[in-house]
A and B are shown apart, each in its own frame.
Chain A
């Protein structure tokens, strides 16, 4: 597992977000020859083995998005080996060595599309150079393929393995000028490849963080203050300590309270089962006086009151909305809202740590190990380089594991039992009640249409959470929210409410909520304009052009948007929507652009007399650029994302806060969609466009929620303006 890390050659790959929109890259491979470089090690990602297999380092955390297979595909393609020759190893977390290593924002593809290919191509070039020197022939007369080097004029050939030692002494060519294959010659990119870990998963092999097992390992349970930002006033751990097998009771700072205070107690024992039993005997007085005022009912009342007055601030003000509305041929207004959500990864939060000789080793199912390293270094007062992080396979991320609280917690527990590896595991109740939640939000929207049914004015009073005029994490709304960049008169005002709930990114953050609000409201506007939603969106988009990037929001290609909308309508046989019959069957449409992906989706839904929602079929068309790197996984990611959207919308998902704490504790209170609720079919189609490929973990999710809401409207005449969907309460 450490073989790829122990090499003495170093490569630095750095990616930067260039102002504006598309991701661009500065990639630099700095290779320094040092004594003892492993035979066949061509760079930190590539090692040629004596049997002519190739070990490729997978550098990013695998959360089920397929990145452990996909990134090595890019390297293997340019290295010019057969996929069957490839062995894949997860690297350590070390962004100085490997470049950015995080699983978030659907960014692995755009960030790594060039650097990973360049890493493979430089290794190939070194092998060619070695052959050229050995045979005394020109390098450009040498071809490669299937892990072989060939010189046709002389009929000579050699395996990569036979050249590996010589190649590893060749000065590596500059990374950013190494020639890359033209797309038309790809043999791995664009072909279906199964997940590298699938065989091990099917044999029950220990892959996940929770499976970490080390000699002498002890186990920890954690009792954290149920009220966020509450602290321990006093505690009595004697009864817990008296349980046979218990080793320690350790006060912990989870990162939500000031340094020097504690908000959790860990019980360390010889088994997790024992630790859980002993945990029940802890006596803790919490200081929660300042936080018990927070509740979801209270937020809803405050949001309603806020929307009765002017917003605290502006996100966007352009043109003259008041004048445009008063001159509009038609106006419409509606309020939309959505709840706090937990992530509920199926593998509960956990982490394993070993503190020894002033250094810490972590085995972390973490989406952002670099963030974890920073936070752990800070709380323990350790130099970051004294922390070693092994990246385990992760039993679901969805953004939860971009946060590092479990690393911070286990680091403190490990320091309290030095020399003993300790594994901390949350119960399901711990996991749901100590999440970083998708923030709730409320929108008060008004639109104005001219006599031709064009959108001329749009306003929103958005209420979510924040302080001092700044949103909390994942509560922001962009000024580019579609179609604000196109409509001439727009006012997006905002009011931020205080909360003690920690918030965080949930798969397709902000988009998972905004798509529902805006694509549903645009369906209302389309109806007022007497057209269907695809027609209305196409009319609003206008001619093909690039809308500029603004702050964090990327540029937006209206032509790519038009194309996926047209293709989705053709794919589904869209006929204007079955909107007039109110027959209990309906068809809805939604379009959204997020994480650099353009997606248009159509949902056929049914609503029974008792208000039960059924899905007949979903059609998805996406544009993620010039290549779909692994089509087998791509289809699956899209299907999973789309059904994840249904899970957010139609089965009652929400978390409620009472007296400062979250109420739900398990999958009875916080349901996840089950197989009997899943649609029979999600048909997926990609259209390609001449742009660098982008990611797929997220962008297919947002449009399905409004497409379903719009289908329900078509079926019943009832507008769904609140999530989770409840037909018994929906207004007409």
Chain B
């Protein structure tokens, strides 16, 4: 069955089981491997993507349920205003260690700053608590989100 998808501003048509998770359609069928498989159960956040700007776990999202929603993945997150600030802060602070979870972290952080431009520390922790980092880079993740929020505030004030 052909399923139409809008991913990273491009339209795609894939012939797959509608029950196949969006994660595996992105990785296997659309050759976008930046979105990562971690747990397959919505517990680690490595597969986080944006669906019309909303952070979702793509391993728990049957591709047949995506419909008209625009999918944004790590490969194009920098095209979003908040995403650009997040990626720049991540690069500046050298947040990744192994780097495997960081796509998911960045997607969640981008969603957070889209919703809440100046999150408080406990709001950062609450919003990011679904994203596991096995290397435990959390101190730099917090710092990078604060830095991105400040850069975003300066940008919009200018």
Residues of chain A at the chain B interface (Cβ within 8 Å):
63-66, 194-195, 197-199, 201-208, 210-211, 213, 219, 271-273, 344-348, 393-398, 425, 427-428, 632-633, 636-637, 639-640, 643-644, 647, 666-668, 672-676, 678, 680-682
Contacts and interface: CB of A to CB of B under 8 A. Distances in A.
Enumerate the 3 nearest inter-chain pairs by beta-carbon distance, A residue then B residue, closest first. Answer: A204-B34, A64-B98, A395-B100
A682 to B, nearest CB: 6
27 contacts: A64-B97, A65-B97, A195-B99, A198-B95, A199-B91, A201-B99, A201-B102, A201-B103, A203-B34, A204-B74, A205-B34, A271-B24, A271-B28, A272-B24, A273-B21, A273-B28, A346-B36, A346-B44, A347-B38, A396-B135, A428-B38, A636-B94, A636-B140, A639-B139, A644-B136, A666-B43, A667-B39
B136 A639 contact: yes
Contacts of A395: 36, 98-100
Interface in B16-52: 17, 20-21, 24, 28-29, 31-41, 43-44, 46
Nearest to A643: B136
Q: Indicate the member of A204, A206, A344, A397 with the most B CB atoms within 10 Å.
A: A204
A272 B140 CA distance: 34
Contacts of B40: 427-428, 666
B111 interface: no
Contact of B98 (A271, A394, A678): A394
Nearest to A350: B37
B38 A346 contact: yes
A672 B139 contact: no
Contacts of A204: 32-35, 73-75, 103
Interface in B105-158: 106, 121, 124-126, 128-142
B13 to A, nearest CB: 17
B53 interface: no
Given A206-B33, A213-B31, A213-B33, A633 B94 contact: yes
A398 to B, nearest CB: 8
Given A273-B20, A676-B129, A681 B139 contact: yes
Nearest to B108: A675
B97 to A, nearest CB: 4
Q: How large is the interface on B (under 10, 10 to 19, 20 to 34, 35 or more residues)?
A: 35 or more
Given A198-B90, A668-B43, A675-B141, 12 more contacts: A63-B98, A202-B102, A204-B103, A208-B99, A210-B36, A345-B98, A346-B36, A348-B37, A637-B97, A640-B136, A640-B137, A666-B39
Contacts of A203: 34, 74-75, 78
A274 B95 CA distance: 35
Nearest to B100: A395
B57 to A, nearest CB: 12
B101 interface: yes
Contact of B138 (A210, A273, A637, A678): A678
Contact of B135 (A205, A640, A675): A640
A664 B131 CA distance: 20
A428 B39 contact: yes
A682 B139 contact: yes
B134 A396 contact: yes
Interface of B: 17, 20-21, 24, 28-29, 31-41, 43-44, 46, 73-75, 78, 87, 90-91, 94-103, 106, 121, 124-126, 128-142
B19 to A, nearest CB: 9
Given A205-B34, A273-B24, A428-B39, A672 B134 contact: yes
A385 B13 CA distance: 44
B24 A393 contact: no
Given A204-B74, A344-B134, A347-B98, A210 B20 contact: no
A585 to B, nearest CB: 20
A70 to B, nearest CB: 13
B8 to A, nearest CB: 10
B131 A675 contact: yes
Contacts of A632: 94
Given A204-B34, A204-B74, A210-B36, A676 B99 contact: no
A151 to B, nearest CB: 38
B41 A346 contact: no
A469 to B, nearest CB: 36
Contact of B125 (A667, A672, A675): A675
A676 B125 contact: yes
A487 to B, nearest CB: 35
Q: Indicate the member of A205, A210, A427, A678 with the most B CB atoms within 10 Å.
A: A678
Contact of A675 (B39, B78, B142): B142
Contacts of B137: 636, 639-640
B99 A207 contact: yes
A657 B136 CA distance: 27
A198 B99 CA distance: 8
A250 B138 CA distance: 41
B5 to A, nearest CB: 16
Contact of B41 (A211, A394, A428): A428
A201 B99 CA distance: 6
Nearest to A431: B39
A289 B124 CA distance: 51
A636 B97 contact: yes
A566 to B, nearest CB: 26
B51 to A, nearest CB: 17
A672 B133 CA distance: 8
Contacts of A344: 134
Contacts of A272: 24, 28
B28 A346 contact: no
B132 A674 contact: yes
Contacts of B17: 273
Nearest to A394: B98
A208 B100 contact: yes
Nearest to A398: B134
